[in-house]
Amino acid sequence: MSTVAKVFVVLNFLLAALFLGSAAAVLGHSDNWKKRYEALQDSSNKEIGQLKADVAAREGQITKLQGDKNTAEGERSKARQEADTLKTQNESILKAYNELNSSMAAATRANQVAQATIQQSRDLVNELQKERQTLIDNLTKANEEKIAAVKMQNQLELNVADLSAQQKSTEAKLSESELKLQRTTFELESIKRANPGIGAGSEQPWQTAKVLAADNEANIVVISIGSEDGVKAGFRYTVSRGNQYVATIEITTVNAKQSAGRVVNNMRKGPVAPGDDVMTASNR
């Protein structure tokens, strides 16, 4: 029972006592005040007893309520602790949830990047496949062109072989003609040497000399006879080395003791060299 309830009980008790005192004073003037007083006393005692019983019951209820209150406060403290624990757990769960959301957002972005990368890789693979197909087509075309080129090369090699054979045959004929020309030239020169009078009435007399100097790159040949020997510009002379024909020269410059000319015909027997023999060309 609370303090206010106790105060109310005490006031009731005092009011009852005051009431009984007043009643006794009133009844004292009457003849039966004693009986009434006793009756009131009995009634008051009963009421007081009842009030005491009620007070005891109330106090029991108060004690029970106090126990219930203490129990409720314990439970409330326990509940508060549990609430604090749940709050802490909730905060931890909320933090973990936020971290999970952040992780999921990062995973989503990573997934988007991965999907974009996969798409780019697919596009690159498609492009590489196209380029590979193009390369295969180009390779096939190149192989076809190579086969055609090989066939053409084989045909050209056959043609070259035929031309080489023809060239060898021509060179053999040319060599044979050169030999015949050389033999004829030397036979004619031998005849002229044996018969100096032959050709004396011609414009270019029969003459012999030696090669004094030769610059084959500049195509200049200097011989040992000049204007005192009757040499004139335009005269032609045969150059020989032993019994081998070397070249034919044509005089371009004439001095008193020597003349210079240029090679007009070389039969591939080597360059003109100092010391080679010079004689009047037979076809002059």
Instruction: Give the C-alpha separation, 156 to 140, whole Å.
Output: 24
Q: What is the pLDDT of residues 100-113, one digit of tens each?
A: 888 888 888 888 98
Do the domain assignments include residue 241?
yes
Q: What is the pLDDT of residues 72-87, one digit of tens each?
A: 888 888 878 887 888 8
Beta bridge partners of 213: 222
Residue 44 pLDDT: 80
Residue 235 pLDDT: 96
CA distance from start to end of the chain: 171
Do the domain assignments include residue 259?
yes
Q: What is the pLDDT of residues 139-185, one digit of tens each?
A: 888 888 888 878 788 887 877 777 677 777 766 766 666 666 656 65
The per-residue b/e assignment along 44-58, b for 16 or more CB within 10 angstroms, e otherwise, is: beebbeebeeebeeb
Of the listed ranges 33-47, 71-85, 203-217, the least confidently predicted one is 33-47
Residue 221 pLDDT: 96
Residue 201 pLDDT: 43
Do the domain assignments include residue 137?
no
pLDDT band at 257 (very low <50, low <70, confident <90, very high): very high
Residue 183 pLDDT: 61
Q: What is the pLDDT of residues 190-201, one digit of tens each?
A: 555 555 444 444
Q: What's the total number of domains in the chain? A: 1
Do the domain assignments include residue 42?
no
Residue 284 has, within 13 A of its CA and on its CB side, a CA count of: 27
- Neighbouring residues of 122: CB distance < 8 A, sequence distance ≥ 6: none
Instruction: Give the C-alpha separation, 123 to 129, whole Å.
Output: 10
Residue 128 pLDDT: 81
Do the domain assignments include residue 162?
no
Contact in structure between 262 and 221 (CB atoms under 8 Å): yes
Pull the structure tokens for residue 237: 């002379």
Q: What is the pLDDT of residues 220-230, one digit of tens each?
A: 999 999 999 99
User: Residue 250 sits in which domain range?
Assistant: 206-280
Q: What is the CATH number of the domain that holds 248?
A: 2.40.10.340
More confident residue, 209 or 164: 209
Do the domain assignments include residue 224?
yes
258, 279, 263, 274: which is closest to 211 by C-alpha?
A: 274
This prediction has a pTM of: 0.33
Q: Is residue 33 predicted with pLDDT exceeding 70?
A: no
Contact in structure between 178 and 239 (CB atoms under 8 Å): no
Instruction: Give the C-alpha separation, 34 to 252, whole Å.
Output: 200
Do the domain assignments include residue 153?
no
Do the domain assignments include residue 21?
no
Average pLDDT taken over every residue of the chain: 81
